[in-house]
Chain A
Amino acid sequence: MKNKDDNRILPSEIPSESSFFERRALLGGLLAGATLPSALVSAQQAAVSGAKAAAGAGTPAGGGTASGASLHATPPRYTRNAALSVREPPNSYEDITTYNNFYEFGLDKSDPAEKSGSFRPLPWSVEIGGEAEVTGRYALEDLLRPHALEERIYRFRCVEAWSRVVPWLGLPLGALLQRFKPTSRAKYVEFTTLLDPRRMPGQRVGVLDWPYVEGLRIDEAMHPLALLVVGVHGRWLPNQSGAPLRLIVPWKYGFKSIKSIVRIRFTERQPRTSWNLSAPDEYGFFANVNPAVDHPRWSQAKERRIGGSFLGSRIDTLPFNGYANEVASLYRGMDLRRFY
């Protein structure tokens, strides 16, 4: 795998003029509304009904709500990125979408598939904020428009010592982040999941401090392997997999790969991430897959490959989940036992 300079800004990656103006109009509308709701509240509103929130601000909805509702109407178009794909055979769509940790829809592995059916992810918007020159709220279509979708087959390793191989559809996170011109103060990127207990019933249970928050160091976020995902197995993401927009960081434990993202913020300080807050001695901020550092309650040396046979589906876990050649340099000089 080559990780060449994917960080340069292509002209197509700079926000289009129209979306720029729409964003300003939206902000103006909010200010004119006398009350500027907190980022969180407005993120919820926009996600509950992007069209309504935008209309309430007195502007046409960013990107056009018509396309907003129809993003998922046609199958995704993508190209295969064989260079960044592993050679192992991918798990079936069923294996990938019926065994999930997505506590927003319940705590059992089967809950997300069984209880997310009525969730309507579209229209969806994402607020981009913090230490960047360009910020604002964007309709999902506007965020995606400049990028070509690609399929990448990645290993996925859960902190619970199971794993699978998944053909994701997405775009390089770094390419998208560059469009917003992070400033020199942007040392980290923080991601937030939708907070809406009515649509995500699991959030009525206080097992985590909702909303779910995850984060990456900026160099991790800009790494070519970090992927913003909108689909799997040639289809748009199903709800249980984090529709309509999730992160995939293949060299880290799965809980870093946050689902149903409504906010991306560039920050100077390390984000306070959900599992790390919940049990700091068990879940680190970095959470790089590391067979040499056990979880306090179970070994991380091996993993069970989902969908395998009863015997022989337990395999050795690889450092950085097999992506050491690509990412180990990000952590040079760091004590990975301390920064687990």
Chain B
Amino acid sequence: MQALIKPLVWLGALAPLALIVVGIFELAGQSLGPNPIREILHVTGKTSLNLLLITLCATPLRELTGQTWWVRPRRLLGLMAFSYALLHFLVYAVLELELQLGELGQELARRPYILVGTVALLALIPLAITSTDRMMRRLGRRWQRLHRLIYPITALGIWHYYWQVKADIREPLIYLGLLAVLLAWRARSAWLRRKSRQVPAASPR
């Protein structure tokens, strides 16, 4: 499992892209349906969200199992999440809006959900740039602080999804619930750490 985890992550993360390509060329009887651009937007956006949430599972899994290898594919997962978010935006700008930049500006100004999604994508850029070992060493403690941006970014991504759903908000709510659980776990860990530090000083009542 430990040796397999990275290949598995590569495979799982590239599978949605492979499905899109298979669909575009209508291989193996697959197709993206009569509105392929919308389908590509949907798949890339949701894959990005899925990968962000999976990334956030790494720390709780390490703490639950005591196995540190859970966090090993974290960088790969994060970079994949960023790549899908970028692809999502490029498909939107190039295929959906056909590179009408004026229209893109208008959409950003008028549609809060597009603004929210764009902010999330922009905020992912510094995290991707500083994902190398060298940057990690150079930034030291600040690296961790910077990368905590992943929490609000994921929340923005879910918000972006929730805001454009027409009626069935169940799926965005599931994402929100998962994020809440993952954040609650971290709050609990932080609280336990603080408590363990304070225990000797605390007097019994």
A interface residues with partner B (beta carbon < 8 Å): 91, 94-95, 98-99, 103, 107, 109-110, 160, 162, 164, 205, 207-208, 278-279, 294, 297-299, 304, 306-307, 310-312, 314
In the assembled complex, the Cα of A278 lies from the Cα of B106 at a distance in Å of: 27
Please provide the 7 A-B residue pairs with the shortest distance between their CB atoms, ordered closest to farther.
Answer: A99-B34, A207-B167, A95-B34, A306-B34, A107-B168, A207-B168, A307-B34
User: Most A CB atoms within 10 A — which of B107, B110, B111, B167?
Assistant: B167
In the assembled complex, the Cα of A314 lies from the Cα of B106 at a distance in Å of: 17
Any A CB within 8 A of the CB of B33: yes
Report chain B residues within 8 Å CB of A207: 167-168
User: Most A CB atoms within 10 A — which of B98, B103, B164?
Assistant: B98
In the assembled complex, the Cα of A208 lies from the Cα of B168 at a distance in Å of: 9
Assess the A99–B33 pair: CB atoms within 8 A. yes
Q: Which residue of B lies closest to A312 (CB)?
A: B98
Instruction: Name B1-56 residues within 8 Å CB distance of A.
Output: 33-38
- Range class of the B interface residue count: 20 to 34
In the assembled complex, the Cα of A304 lies from the Cα of B95 at a distance in Å of: 11
18 contacts between A and B (CB under 8 A): A91-B34, A95-B34, A99-B35, A103-B167, A109-B35, A110-B33, A205-B168, A208-B167, A294-B110, A297-B164, A299-B103, A299-B107, A304-B35, A306-B34, A307-B34, A310-B36, A311-B98, A314-B98
Contact A98:B111 (CB < 8 A) given known A160-B166, A205-B168: no
Which label, helix, strand, loop or mixed, suits the secondary structure of the B interface? helix
Given contacts A103-B167, A205-B168, A306-B35, 15 further A-B contacts (CB under 8 A): A99-B35, A164-B34, A207-B167, A279-B167, A297-B111, A297-B113, A298-B111, A299-B111, A304-B35, A304-B37, A306-B34, A307-B34, A310-B36, A311-B95, A314-B96
Report chain A residues within 8 Å CB of B95: 310-311
In the assembled complex, the Cα of A198 lies from the Cα of B38 at a distance in Å of: 31
B interface residues with partner A (beta carbon < 8 Å): 33-38, 95-96, 98, 103, 106-107, 110-111, 113, 163-164, 166-168
Report chain B residues within 8 Å CB of A95: 34
Report chain A residues within 8 Å CB of B107: 299
In the assembled complex, the Cα of A242 lies from the Cα of B103 at a distance in Å of: 35
Assess the B37–A310 pair: CB atoms within 8 A. yes
Q: Which residue of B lies closest to A296 (CB)?
A: B111
Report chain B residues within 8 Å CB of A312: 98
In the assembled complex, the Cα of A164 lies from the Cα of B33 at a distance in Å of: 14
B197 to chain A, nearest CB (A): 47
